[in-house]
Structure 1
Amino acid sequence: MLGRDRDDDGGRHSFEEYVAARRGALLRTAYLLTGHREDAEDLVQVALVKVVPRWSRIASDPEPYVRRVLVNESISRWRRRRWREVSTDDLPDGPVGGPVDGPGADRVALQRALARLAPRQRAVVVLRYYEDLTEAETARVLGISVGTVKSQARDALARLRADAADTVTA
């Protein structure tokens, strides 16, 4: 039976139960990694498809593995897409990414700031400060050293602070 594990074997649950319980949280994390709802939905679906064949090995603690697949797939997608961007001489009619006022302005500003980070920096920020993982847990999920987590977080936060300062002066 694909994706089914017995509940009496050390707290393991079925794949379907995991998805039902964690889908919202996975979508939020994916959204913070991608910056777009549709891309987040695609990212979660691809990650879950990649997890299914390994479910019997990770069912007792799937969260770190699923997060790692999300992050790795997000970085891979970013790498593939950045070469497809095409420059144009035509400018949009109105401002794109200009200042936003009113309800939700802080959220939009944060989304824009996260989008300007490199994918690895964005992953570190999302895992450390949104998912509230420790430096060691973040390092394990990303497959990097704790020192790299620290330096990526430092650089990302410096960039976010600089972006915030530029926004305030504008």
Structure 2
Amino acid sequence: MRQGRRDGFREFAAGRSGPLYRSACLLASGDVHLAEDLVQETLGRMYLLWGRISRIDNPAAYAQTVLVRSFLTHQRRRSAGERPVGEFPESRAPEAGAADPELRVTLLQALGQLAPKDRAVLVLRYWEDRSIEETAEAMNVSSAAVRTRSTRALTRLRGQLGDSLSELVAR
């Protein structure tokens, strides 16, 4: 019985590690070390509760929720205002070759300047393509808060990017 649960978790972790890592990279504004830590923390929490979690309808959505909450908890605990620097390592992102690297770096830098909750809302709504209700549940806030935060976050993001985004996309 225990071996079956372990095998089930290993299969789940192997299948979800990539998508979790990509979401974590976006949440962490390209900080791959923090992204790896967030994925490990998420999978660790999932493993501890796997007996109960494996019986729910959508363990992958639960894992995304755990990831976002781990990120927000990390941001609250973080006392230093340090920001990741440098370029996004193309070798770590599976779809890195499909997009313009300068555009990726510009977007990651702009996302990094948003508040953690704003960044989480944008990642969940527009990267993960979740509904307002799913995003609200993952962040433990109301649907109205998600709508308000996403509108304000998009406005801030557009203000930060200004004309630089249109220049990068026009190429």
* Equivalences, count: 148
Give runs of aligned pairs for residues 143-154 of structure 1, distance below 5 A. 143-154=140-151
> Counterpart in 2 of 1:84?
80
Equivalent position amino acid for 1:23 in 2: S
Q: CA deviation at 1:43?
A: 0.6
User: Given that residues 28 and 112 in structure 2 are in contact (C-alpha distance below 8 angstroms), is that contact kept between their aligned partners in structure 1?
Assistant: yes
Q: CA deviation at 1:56?
A: 1.9
Matched, 1:63 2:60: yes
Higher relative contact order (CA 8 A, sep 6+): 2
User: Given that residues 68 and 142 in structure 1 are in contact (C-alpha distance below 8 angstroms), is that contact kept between their aligned partners in structure 2?
Assistant: yes
Q: Secondary structure at the match of 2:114?
A: coil
Give runs of aligned pairs for residues 17-166 of structure 1, distance below 5 A. 17-35=11-29, 36-59=31-54, 60=56, 61-81=58-78, 83-85=79-81, 103-165=100-162
Q: CA deviation at 1:3?
A: 7.2
Equivalent position amino acid for 1:38 in 2: H
| TM-score w.r.t. length of structure 1 | 0.78
User: Given that residues 31 and 37 in structure 1 are in contact (C-alpha distance below 8 angstroms), is that contact kept between their aligned partners in structure 2?
Assistant: yes
Equivalent position amino acid for 1:41 in 2: E
| TM-score w.r.t. length of structure 2 | 0.78
Residues 151 and 58 from structure 1, CA distance in 2 versus in 1: closer, same or farther, beyond 3 angstroms? same
Residues 139 and 2 from structure 1, CA distance in 2 versus in 1: closer, same or farther, beyond 3 angstroms? farther
Alpha-carbon RMSD across the aligned residues, in angstroms, is 2.4
Which stretch of the first structure deviates more once superposed, 106-115 or 61-70?
61-70
Q: CA deviation at 1:2?
A: 6.5
> Counterpart in 2 of 1:4?
5
Identity %: 41
Q: CA separation in 2, counterparts of 1:23 and 1:39?
A: 14
The structure with more helix, counted as a fraction of residues: 2
Equivalent position amino acid for 2:5 in 1: R
Q: CA separation in 1, counterparts of 2:111 and 2:39?
A: 19
Q: Which consecutive residues of structure 2, in runs of 5 or more, have no partner in the other structure?
A: 87-99, 167-171
Q: CA separation in 2, counterparts of 1:84 and 1:109?
A: 23
Equivalent position amino acid for 1:50 in 2: R
Larger radius of gyration: 1
Q: CA separation in 1, counterparts of 2:27 and 2:81?
A: 19
Residues 133 and 168 from structure 1, CA distance in 2 versus in 1: closer, same or farther, beyond 3 angstroms? closer
Q: Which consecutive residues of structure 1, in runs of 5 or more, have no partner in the other structure?
A: 6-12, 87-95, 98-102
